[in-house]
Amino acid sequence: MSDDLTTGLRELAESGQMPPRVSGTEVRRRAGVRRRRRRTAVAAAGVSAVTVLGVALLLNLAGPGPHDRPSPASTPTSTPSTHAAPSATVYLVGRVLVIGDRALPVSSGKFGTRTPTGRMTVTARRDITTQHGKALGLAGGYGFKVPWVVELRSADGTSTFLGGLTYDSKAPGNYDSTNGWIGLGVDDAKWVYERLSAGDVVVVEDGRGTPVPERTSTAGRTPPPADGGSGSGDGG
């Protein structure tokens, strides 16, 4: 190529180049500024997230505010009874069962086979049942029919029953003749049977020092006083 052509091409190339708008030093400075801005933004975002988390934890630890707390339960106006009132009470020493306005003569367990005491619950009722003689405190192996039976059970599992004393009609109110169950006259036993239901409470007490109510009877007779006899009676 001729020198003239080379010179012309160089001049044309130089005339087409645009000088840079900023110097290299300025470019590097601006890049540094942008990096610092990005770091500052990331750091600020991290601080904000930590602040929000701390506030949330503080609110949770502080618990609900006064408007968020549940209202206190209303104070009961009365204390509920822990024991239901008994439907009947038996006083062993006085040989009497009190139910309603009646005081009925009974015969209970002999010495050595005393009737259990305490609060008892009616668990079953049977209009008649057959009991072995020994289960009733009698000698011999005969079976005896006991009418108007009311079964009782205490909290500790001890059980006994009320029923009509058919084989010794003089015992109720006079002397103890059973091996632990509570015997009444047949008519009185029926009257009690008709008034007690499953779940009713019967309290059996020793009755020492308790005034004996004046006895009545559904049979329309006047029973003898409690000290009218002292025989143990085996009902044989």
Examine the domain organization and report whether 140 and 28 are in the same domain: no
* 112 token code pair: 């050595």
Which tens digits make up the pLDDT trace of 167-181? 889 999 999 999 899
Domain interval for residue 178 = 88-228
Examine the domain organization and report whether 45 and 133 are in the same domain: no
Coil, strand or helix: which one is 154? strand
Which tens digits make up the pLDDT trace of 42-75? 666 665 665 655 555 555 555 555 555 545 454 4
The pTM assigned to this predicted structure is: 0.56
Distance (Å, whole) CA 66 – CA 34: 49
Q: How confident is the model at residue 161 (pLDDT cuts 50, 70, 90)?
A: very high
Examine the domain organization and report whether 57 and 170 are in the same domain: no
* 46 in a structural domain: yes
Examine the domain organization and report whether 100 and 207 are in the same domain: yes
Which tens digits make up the pLDDT trace of 215-234? 776 654 444 444 444 333 33
CA-based max dimension of the chain: 166
* 236 in a structural domain: no
Mean pLDDT of 186-206: 96
| Sequence-ordered list of residues with C-beta below 8 angstroms from that of 81, at least 6 positions apart, any chain | none
Examine the domain organization and report whether 223 and 186 are in the same domain: yes
> What's the structural domain count of the chain?
2
* 73 in a structural domain: no
CATH number of the domain residue 143 falls in:
2.40.440.10
Element (H, E) at 43: helix 24-62
Examine the domain organization and report whether 49 and 109 are in the same domain: no
Which amino acid belongs to residue 147?
P
Examine the domain organization and report whether 50 and 148 are in the same domain: no
* 116 in a structural domain: yes
Which amino acid belongs to residue 18?
M
